[in-house]
Amino acid sequence: MSTEVMVDGSLVAGEGRFGIVLARFNAFVGERLLEGALDTLRRHGVAADRITVVRVPGAFELPLTAQVMAEAGLYDGIVALGAVIRGATPHFDFVAGECVKGLAQVGLKTGVPVALGVLTVDTVAQAIDRSGAKAGNKGAEAALSILEMADLLRRLRRP
Ligand code: INI
């Protein structure tokens, strides 16, 4: 009888350090996402001095900043937060697309997990719903996912 080896990430932060990069554009939403992410990290045992928060102008600036943070080698994971709202710009598809694609590339290029806590929505109401009102908090979800991925990658690298 064979026994499979199962590897899962837990939500225990341990000694992990985490970076958060937050877009200031649509700050009324972004700050709620930040609150959700910080609350989740702290409630899972991450001390405040193990969290670095960096603010950038908008979602377009998130990938480069996340990349520089990842390359610094100081963080077990990075959470990217922001809100791209279709109603607010004809550039929605470009800004949202480049942001999401760029963040994915940072994770692949650096090996440091990057969690996508960037809302890409049609309306301000949807953004509010997803930042702590009716439909959860995308920042909190992203923080949970970075805890899991940081632990999973740690286990896979040092089995
Ligand atoms: N940045 C956002 O984070 N959200 C948006 O909805 C948005 N809109 O609407 O344009 C936005 N634009 C700014 C962009 O991210 C850059 O900061 C800017 O183009 C300068 O590079």
Domain of 82, CATH number, reads 3.40.50.960
159 falls within a domain: no
Q: For the chain, what is the domain count?
A: 1
- Pairwise CA distance, residues 44 & 97, whole Å: 31
Which residue from 65, 95, 130 has its CB within 8 A of the most atoms of ligand 1, so it is best to mutate? 95
- Pairwise CA distance, residues 141 & 62, whole Å: 18
- Pairwise CA distance, residues 51 & 27, whole Å: 20
**Which tens digit of pLDDT belongs to each residue from 67-80?**
999 999 999 999 99
Provide the domain limits for residue 96: 18-154
- pTM of the model as a whole: 0.95
98 falls within a domain: yes
Nearest CA to ligand 1 atom 19: 60
**Which tens digit of pLDDT belongs to each residue from 94-149?**
999 999 999 999 999 999 999 999 999 999 999 998 998 877 999 999 999 999 99
Q: In what order do the strands lie in the sheet with 114-121?
A: 51-56, 18-23, 77-85, 114-121
Distance 142 CA to ligand 1 centre (A): 20
